[in-house]
A and B are shown apart, each in its own frame.
Chain A
Amino acid sequence: MGPGHGEAIVVHLGQGEWLVVDSCTSAWDGTAQPAPLKYLRALGVPVASAVKLIVASHWDSDHIQGIATVLESCPGAEFCCSTTFTRREFTNFVSSMSLGATATDGANVSDFHRVLQILRSRGEPIIAATPGRKLFKKPIITSWSPSDFEEELFLNFVAQQHPKAGEPYRRAVPGSPNLTSVVIGIDWDDASVLLGADMESHPDVRRGWGAVVSRAKYIGFVRCGMVKVPHHGSHTGHDELMWTELLNGRPISVIAPFGKGPPQSRPPKPADVRRINGLSSSTFITARRSTTKPMAKMSVSVRRSLREGMIRIYDSNTPLGIVRLRRKHGEKWKHELFGGAVQAK
């Protein structure tokens, strides 16, 4: 589901048990109910007991908006994230950035800070995602990233970003956290799914898809027939190795578009969709491009002033859409589309 503000995935594992990967909301400030909770409650799922595992794929506002609320509402769930977020360096960073939280509107760490506080108060162990780690028994859920090398790089970044005395309060900007994404494989008896998070390609084989594929080949990997296309379908998330080594011939692909930034550069671009169509048996996109023009609701004077000042305002309230793919044992996948979701192939 997505984008609204972010993207999220819910997976029925069987026997009334559910997996939630990431969280998004339909409002920027996170006041709206997280989309995964809203969806599950609409289905009549008792989230408190039925959600068994929550995965925070990485620290990026479009993936963790409302994740603390999801965790709070699902006391029966285990929580999985990168080891990085359990390290002393990160807890110190989050604690320090929270100093100016009132002035900085949460400093962009409030969700993770709350998550860590909830987990501490519960005393439940955090499942640290590492390549090849089994997160769940049936179906088998396996994390394939992040690599140790990537985690060290991220901790270096956190050290550089740590606030220093004399600096004004500011928001934390995660930089490029996509390579620390937790990529997940889910294997049922007769079907497998790859959730690519925001993982990107990188020329260094210790990083990105190169690292994921090398570990998967070393440990053993069941090729998947369906993929949540990494990094919103962008070309930076594309890696031939992922398509050739981790997926079946032509998988079903689902893209959750990116809802921020200049509209012309938001992935997936038309070329991205064509590329993914060429590699897939079917392609679904959770939402169309937003057609809302935020400046249209402003007064003429303000619009003219912004234009003349070369200031561009972009819409960031792309409506949330849902692609639902279901199958019964031994049957083919059936799709249903909600909101702005579309089938591209």
Chain B
Amino acid sequence: MNRTTAAPSYPSTSWDTPQKASSPTVGEPIVADESIVRPPGELLARIRAGRVANDTDIDEYSPRSTRPFESPTSIRTPATLLAEWNGSVSSIEQYCFTATLKGVYGEGIQGEYEEAEIPISDVSESDMELLRPGHFFRLCVFYEVSEDGQPSRSTQVVFRRLPAYRQHDLDRAAERGDELHRGLRVG
């Protein structure tokens, strides 16, 4: 997977707005609310007493932040697919492999046939055994915005694990091949 970070941009977040005097500021350590802190050893005692099964208020024992809750997903966006090709490996060179691509999705891509040179370093270790002429893969381009608001794009090469040839099918194919051969007349 190749990841590239786009030029920084600074979306408006609640961090930009002034905080109340009582609220912690960015960088300040989170302080536990002492009103809910139980004496040490109480949880252990409750566990020993078998009182914690299905105990839904057990997280009361964790230190609780007084900072207003902000879901990090309010900034992060899920990865958006910008482009996708179905590829087939044509040849393998020292640092890259060549492939024919058929556009599956994307502006100016869908339905188009292209050729490509793709760095072998983009192939994951687990897919490396599938990097062979004739094998199929998907090439995708994604766009996403990270938790800190940083937009980024990435390309991803994922080799497809198509169904495998089965001996039974190969045997039957060989019979059909023999039959085809017998039906041919060579002059």
- Fill in one digit per residue for A313-332: 1 if any B CB lies within 8 Å of its CB, else 0: 11111000000000000000
**8 new A-B contacts at CB < 8 Å, known A120-B183, A297-B109:** A88-B177, A91-B178, A99-B170, A127-B187, A165-B164, A168-B165, A170-B133, A299-B106
Residues of A58-107 contacting chain B, CB below 8 A = 78, 83, 86-88, 91-96, 98-100, 103-105
Checking A29, A164, A301 against B153 with a beta-carbon cut-off of 8 angstroms, the contacting residue is A301
Q: Can you sample 8 A-B contacts with CB below 8 Å? A: A95-B180, A116-B184, A165-B165, A165-B170, A167-B164, A171-B88, A171-B134, A298-B106
Tell whether A172 is near chain B: CB-to-CB under 8 Å.
Answer: yes
Kindly state the separation between the CA atoms of A98 and B130 in the bound complex, as whole angstroms.
20
Beyond A170-B136, A310-B119, is A100–B165 a contact (Cβ under 8 Å)? yes
Contact between chains at A170 and B114 (CB < 8 Å)? no
**Stretch of B31-39, B52-60, B63-71, B154-162 with 4 or more beta carbons under 8 angstroms from chain A:** B154-162
Residues of B146-187 contacting chain A, CB below 8 A = 153-155, 160-167, 169-170, 173-174, 176-178, 180-181, 183-187
Q: Tell me how far the C-beta of A308 lies from the nearest C-beta in chain B, rounded to whole angstroms.
A: 4
Which of A83, A86, A170 gathers most chain B CB within 10 Å?
Answer: A170
Kindly state the separation between the CA atoms of A171 and B106 in the bound complex, as whole angstroms.
25
Tell whether B139 is near chain A: CB-to-CB under 8 Å.
Answer: yes
Kindly state the separation between the CA atoms of A119 and B184 in the bound complex, as whole angstroms.
7
Kindly state the separation between the CA atoms of A127 and B185 in the bound complex, as whole angstroms.
9
Residues of A291-312 contacting chain B, CB below 8 A = 294, 297-299, 301-302, 304-306, 308-312
Checking B4, B98, B130, B161 against A305 with a beta-carbon cut-off of 8 angstroms, the contacting residue is B4
Which of A100, A103, A301 gathers most chain B CB within 10 Å?
Answer: A301
Which of B90, B160, B186 gathers most chain A CB within 10 Å?
Answer: B186
Tell whether B141 is near chain A: CB-to-CB under 8 Å.
Answer: yes
Beyond A298-B106, A298-B108, is A95–B165 a contact (Cβ under 8 Å)? no
Using Cβ atoms and an 8 Å threshold, which residues of chain A touch B107?
297-299, 302
Pair count A-B, CB < 8 A:
192
Contact between chains at B177 and A96 (CB < 8 Å)? yes
Checking B83, B130, B133 against A302 with a beta-carbon cut-off of 8 angstroms, the contacting residue is B83
Contact between chains at B173 and A261 (CB < 8 Å)? no
Contact between chains at B166 and A165 (CB < 8 Å)? yes
Kindly state the separation between the CA atoms of A119 and B52 in the bound complex, as whole angstroms.
79
Beyond A91-B180, A305-B153, A311-B119, is A123–B164 a contact (Cβ under 8 Å)? no
Using Cβ atoms and an 8 Å threshold, which residues of chain A touch B96?
310
Beyond A127-B187, A169-B163, is A302–B177 a contact (Cβ under 8 Å)? no
The 3 closest A-B pairs by CB, nearest first: A125-B187, A297-B108, A92-B177
Tell whether A279 is near chain B: CB-to-CB under 8 Å.
Answer: no
Which of A28, A78, A127, A305 gathers most chain B CB within 10 Å?
Answer: A305
Tell whether A222 is near chain B: CB-to-CB under 8 Å.
Answer: no
Contact between chains at B116 and A312 (CB < 8 Å)? yes
Contact between chains at B116 and A302 (CB < 8 Å)? no
Contact between chains at B155 and A309 (CB < 8 Å)? yes
Contact between chains at B119 and A294 (CB < 8 Å)? no
Residues of B17-49 contacting chain A, CB below 8 A = none
Contact between chains at A311 and B116 (CB < 8 Å)? yes
Kindly state the separation between the CA atoms of A107 and B98 in the bound complex, as whole angstroms.
17
Beyond A96-B170, A166-B164, is A172–B134 a contact (Cβ under 8 Å)? yes
Contact between chains at A314 and B180 (CB < 8 Å)? no
Using Cβ atoms and an 8 Å threshold, which residues of chain A touch B116?
311-314
Kindly state the separation between the CA atoms of A127 and B115 in the bound complex, as whole angstroms.
35
Contact between chains at B173 and A92 (CB < 8 Å)? yes
Tell whether B2 is near chain A: CB-to-CB under 8 Å.
Answer: yes
Residues of B96-149 contacting chain A, CB below 8 A = 96, 98, 100-102, 106-109, 112-119, 122, 130, 132-136, 139, 141, 143
Tell whether A117 is near chain B: CB-to-CB under 8 Å.
Answer: yes
Which of B136, B143, B164, B177 gathers most chain A CB within 10 Å?
Answer: B177
Specify the chain A residue showing the minimal Cβ separation from B121: A310
Kindly state the separation between the CA atoms of A31 and B123 in the bound complex, as whole angstroms.
32
Contact between chains at B163 and A312 (CB < 8 Å)? no
Contact between chains at B162 and A96 (CB < 8 Å)? no
Tell whether A140 is near chain B: CB-to-CB under 8 Å.
Answer: no
Contact between chains at A91 and B177 (CB < 8 Å)? yes
Specify the chain A residue showing the minimal Cβ separation from B155: A309
Contact between chains at A96 and B165 (CB < 8 Å)? yes
Kindly state the separation between the CA atoms of A117 and B176 in the bound complex, as whole angstroms.
11
Q: Tell me how far the C-beta of A118 lies from the nearest C-beta in chain B, rounded to whole angstroms.
A: 11
Contact between chains at A304 and B174 (CB < 8 Å)? no
Kindly state the separation between the CA atoms of A282 and B173 in the bound complex, as whole angstroms.
50
Checking A96, A167, A173 against B173 with a beta-carbon cut-off of 8 angstroms, the contacting residue is A96
Q: Tell me how far the C-beta of A30 lies from the nearest C-beta in chain B, rounded to whole angstroms.
A: 11
